[in-house]
């Protein structure tokens, strides 16, 4: 048989039948256990189903491995790592500046202070430890910057319309929050609008808070740069176009300038309300 999943497969190697399970198809249903026994692939039905299960698991592992290596997943890992690096660097900065303040005079605060401390030449054992600690924080800051550069370089090739509309970093965050470009493309605009505001949404569903107007897209200038009473409209308009951009990027991958023009025109209309109100 040529259309059976076990056709040409090694009975003792589950991976050899995995490709047929993932990509193969049969023109019509058949008694596959019987066929497998007749062709000597399995001694009986129990053995056939054992081999089918092993091959199906191998196919699933292969599919998961491929998915994790996909470009959009790498983008999601990169933005999460960038955020981790920045958060940890800030925590280290707070500690090292406080410590350095007991050893040096006029230590700048925050991340600037960390770079200042890391550049000093220690003269005591305590200073050596502080400078070393500050150097670790600076390394994390540098890694954060390199990760951002990686995102800015890769996002436009993975999601050209999203990157143009939202910027590379916000694009990576949306992909990460959705669980992949495929899931983002299949999400309704209302879901895209509140990605990153899950805690507020759950509180609303339990009757403890109002419905959130936006999630992580608040960082976009179209939302945070719009007057508060119009931000709901701005968030809906942006989320709607982001949803369309994600679908285009996932299903075709070609750049569509018209959707960006449409969004710009819609935002101009929303912001014109403020000017009308001032007259």
Q: Which fold has domain 159-279?
A: Serum Albumin; Chain A, Domain 1 (1.10.246)
Where in the chain are the domains? 14-69, 71-158, 159-279
- The rounded distance, in Å, linking the Cα atoms of 134 and 131 is 5
* Domain 71-158 architecture: Orthogonal Bundle (1.10)
Q: What per-residue confidence (pLDDT) applies to 6?
A: 85
Q: What share of the chain is helix, strand, coil (3-state, %, to 5)?
A: 75, 0, 25
Q: If residue 37 lies in a helix (H) or strand (E), which one and from where to where? A: helix 32-38
Q: Which residues contact 46 (CB under 8 A, 6 or more apart)?
A: none
Q: If residue 168 lies in a helix (H) or strand (E), which one and from where to where? A: helix 168-178
The pTM of the whole model exceeds 0.75? no
> Cβ-count burial of 1 within 10 angstroms (0-12 exposed, 13-18 middle, 19+ buried)?
middle
Q: What per-residue confidence (pLDDT) applies to 209?
A: 66
Give me 73's structure tokens.
């997943």
- The rounded distance, in Å, linking the Cα atoms of 118 and 112 is 10
Give me 267's structure tokens.
């935002």
Q: What per-residue confidence (pLDDT) applies to 144?
A: 96
Please list the rounded mean pLDDT of every run of 10 residues in the chain (279 residues).
80 83 80 89 91 87 64 92 95 93 89 91 95 95 96 94 96 95 94 85 68 86 93 94 96 93 95 70
Polymer length in residues for the chain: 279
- Write b or e for each residue in 86-111: b if 16 or more Cβ atoms lie within 10 A of its Cβ, otherwise e: bebbbebbbebbebbeebeeebeeeb
Phi, psi of 252 (to 5 degrees): -130, -40
**Beta carbons within 10 angstroms of residue 44's beta carbon:** 11
Q: What per-residue confidence (pLDDT) applies to 127?
A: 95
Q: What per-residue confidence (pLDDT) applies to 21?
A: 83
């Amino acid at each position: 048989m040529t259309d059976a999943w076990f056709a040409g497969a090694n009975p003792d190697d589950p991976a050899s039948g995995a490709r047929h399970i993932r990509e193969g198809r049969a023109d019509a249903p058949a008694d596959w256990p019987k066929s497998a026994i007749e062709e000597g692939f399995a001694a009986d039905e129990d053995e056939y189903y054992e081999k089918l299960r092993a091959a199906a698991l191998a196919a699933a592992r292969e599919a998961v491995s491929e998915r994790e290596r996909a470009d959009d997943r790498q983008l999601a890992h990169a933005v999460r790592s960038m955020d981790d690096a920045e958060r940890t660097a800030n925590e280290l900065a707070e500690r090292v500046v406080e410590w350095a303040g007991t050893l040096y005079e006029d230590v700048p605060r925050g991340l600037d202070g960390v770079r200042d401390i890391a550049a000093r030449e220690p003269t005591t054992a305590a200073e050596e430890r502080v400078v070393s600690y500050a150097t670790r924080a600076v390394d994390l800051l540098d890694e954060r910057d390199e990760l951002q550069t990686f995102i800015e370089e890769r996002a436009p090739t993975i999601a050209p319309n999203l990157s143009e509309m939202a910027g590379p970093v916000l694009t990576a965050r949306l992909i990460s929050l959705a669980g992949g470009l495929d899931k983002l493309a299949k999400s309704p605009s209302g879901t895209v609008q509140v990605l990153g505001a899950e805690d507020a949404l759950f509180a609303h569903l339990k009757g403890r808070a109002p419905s959130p107007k936006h999630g992580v897209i608040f960082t976009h200038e179209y939302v945070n740069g719009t007057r508060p009473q119009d931000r709901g409209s701005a968030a809906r308009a942006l989320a709607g176009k982001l949803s369309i951009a994600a679908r285009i990027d996932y299903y075709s991958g070609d750049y569509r300038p018209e959707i960006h023009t449409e969004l710009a025109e819609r935002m101009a209309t929303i912001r014109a309300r403020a000017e009308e109100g001032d007259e």
